[in-house]
Amino acid sequence: MAPMFELLKRDAHTKARLGRLTTPRGVIDTPAFMPVGTQGTVKALDPRELREAGAQIILGNTYHLNIRPGMDIIRAAGGLHRFMGWDGPILTDSGGFQVFSLAKIRKIKPHGVEFRSHVDGTLLFLGPKEAMEIQQALGSDIAMVFDDCPPHTSTPREVQAAVERTIRWAQECRAQPRAPAQLVFGIVQGGAHAPLREQCARAVTALGFDGYAIGGVSVGEPESEMMKAVEMTEPFLPSGQPRYAMGLGTPAQLAEMVARGVDMFDCVLPTRMARNGTAFTRKGTVIMKAAFNKTDFRPIEEGCDCFACRHFTRAYLRHLLNVDEILGVRMLSVHNVRLFLKLMLDIRTALAAGTFAELHRQIVANYVPSRKVLSARQNGVAR
């Protein structure tokens, strides 16, 4: 069998890498974007649409799935893949991020966090042991360790405590049983502090995981800090394993992160912005309800090969959104997800051809981020 992760090529001008992650349920070409299926579905899309958009792996949320439908039902279904009808690879997060960002009245304890469900207030407990047990039952192809993700406004002392907890909990996760063939990725915290990032990266990589995530990014910090956090961490991650920047980002940010040596991404932006009536293009975002689309019979983006752009016009999608028809949100979701996946495909093609540096410049120069997107990303639950 092929090794789990193959590093196929390194870019000559940046830290970008072309790779391939092989799992029993399928190959993931990297750099890869993972659409987010929080509650057992990538919002508004069905599995066929995901495949057509080019998705090779999707993400599921331990925190949400554990609350609804609950693990008794997913266990009875035979795992998350069978439950949701997606037979490709799934990465599950550990729930740590949601516990720290979404749940109310939480109490950090030595082996996890006591919190109240954001749905009905039920008292719940999630720690390394529980998170790994749930992910084992979900049967995801890649499980994430349970970490402590502090807000970007934390004091250095608080970040230090979060790093120590993250390392201890990573050890506990490492010792837990896994689902058959399940990979487990460690997570590096440390905020905007280079020594803490290094300390955490050294300690977590020493535990020997199958890949490593850079956590504590996209939690409301300015973009420059986000880039620095990745730059501080990347040198301490083993080059032979995949690197995953959690909860990112805009198309331009993804290109920037690839140039900094990151291989995997997930973000709710494509589907969340679709539900706000916003379409992504390579040049920025478009408010589809805007009056200038009234009689614009072009597709969302000229040249896009997505189902929405092949069948529908801006004028039609504007109408659907105006009258609250589900097909409007559906088609923006199809387009946005395809745009992110096509961006990664173009990046991989450029890496193979040795032209990534030029593509990287183009993507970043052409993309004008909107305030709306940046604020959606910075609301702290952007993953």
- Min separation Cβ 42 and a copy of itself, Å: 9
Query: For residues 84 and 43, what is the distance between their CA atoms, to the nearest angstrom?
Result: 12
Query: For residues 368 and 250, what is the distance between their CA atoms, to the nearest angstrom?
Result: 10
Among 298, 311, 361, 372, binds a copy of itself (CB under 8 A): 311
CB 151 within 8 A of CB 379: no
Amino acid at 236: F
Is residue 331 a contact residue for a copy of itself (CB under 8 A)? yes
Is residue 294 a contact residue for a copy of itself (CB under 8 A)? yes
Q: Which is nearer to a copy of itself, 92 or 160 (CB)?
A: 92
Is residue 52 a contact residue for a copy of itself (CB under 8 A)? no
In three-state secondary structure terms, 5 is: strand
- Percentages of the chain per state (helix, strand, coil), in multiples of 5: 45, 20, 35
Is residue 46 a contact residue for a copy of itself (CB under 8 A)? yes
Q: Which of 93, 141, 147, 148 is catalytic?
A: 93
In the annotation, is 266 catalytic? yes
Query: For residues 143 and 94, what is the distance between their CA atoms, to the nearest angstrom?
Result: 7
How many other CB atoms are there within 10 angstroms of residue 206's CB atom?
12
- Min separation Cβ 286 and a copy of itself, Å: 18
Whether cis (ω within 30° of 0) applies to the bond prior to 31 is yes
Single out the segment in contact with a copy of itself by CB under 8 A; choices: 9-17, 126-134, 280-288, 308-316: 308-316
- Min separation Cβ 300 and a copy of itself, Å: 13
Is residue 58 a contact residue for a copy of itself (CB under 8 A)? no
Q: Which of 11, 148, 263, 266 is catalytic?
A: 266
Rounded to an integer, what is the distance from CA 201 to the centroid of its chain? 20
Q: Which tokens belong to 363?
A: 């993507």
Among 116, 174, 289, 319, binds a copy of itself (CB under 8 A): 319
Residues 172/173/177/178 CA torsion (nearest 10 deg): -170
Is residue 325 a contact residue for a copy of itself (CB under 8 A)? yes
Is residue 330 a contact residue for a copy of itself (CB under 8 A)? yes
Is residue 295 a contact residue for a copy of itself (CB under 8 A)? yes
Q: What is the DSSP string of 79-128?
A: SHHHHHT--S-EEEE-SHHHHHHT-EEEEEETTEEEEE-TTT--EEEE-H
Is residue 76 a contact residue for a copy of itself (CB under 8 A)? yes
Is residue 40 a contact residue for a copy of itself (CB under 8 A)? yes
Site string for a copy of itself, 247-286 (x = CB under 8 A): ----------------------------------------
In three-state secondary structure terms, 22 is: strand
Q: Which is nearer to a copy of itself, 276 or 313 (CB)?
A: 313
CB 297 within 8 A of CB 312: no
Is residue 84 a contact residue for a copy of itself (CB under 8 A)? yes
Is residue 329 a contact residue for a copy of itself (CB under 8 A)? yes
Q: Which tokens belong to 365?
A: 């120069």
Is residue 210 a contact residue for a copy of itself (CB under 8 A)? no
Query: For residues 326 and 218, what is the distance between their CA atoms, to the nearest angstrom?
Result: 29
CB 334 within 8 A of CB 49: yes
In the annotation, is 147 catalytic? no
Quote the longest CA-to-CA distance of the chain: 60
Is residue 291 a contact residue for a copy of itself (CB under 8 A)? no
Is residue 314 a contact residue for a copy of itself (CB under 8 A)? no
Among 5, 312, 356, 367, binds a copy of itself (CB under 8 A): 312
Length, in residues, of the chain: 383
Is residue 332 a contact residue for a copy of itself (CB under 8 A)? no
Catalytic residues, by residue number, are: 93, 266
Footprint of a copy of itself on this chain (CB under 8 A)?
Answer: 39-41, 43-48, 68-69, 72-73, 76-77, 83-85, 294-295, 297, 307, 311-313, 315-316, 318-320, 322-323, 325-327, 329-331
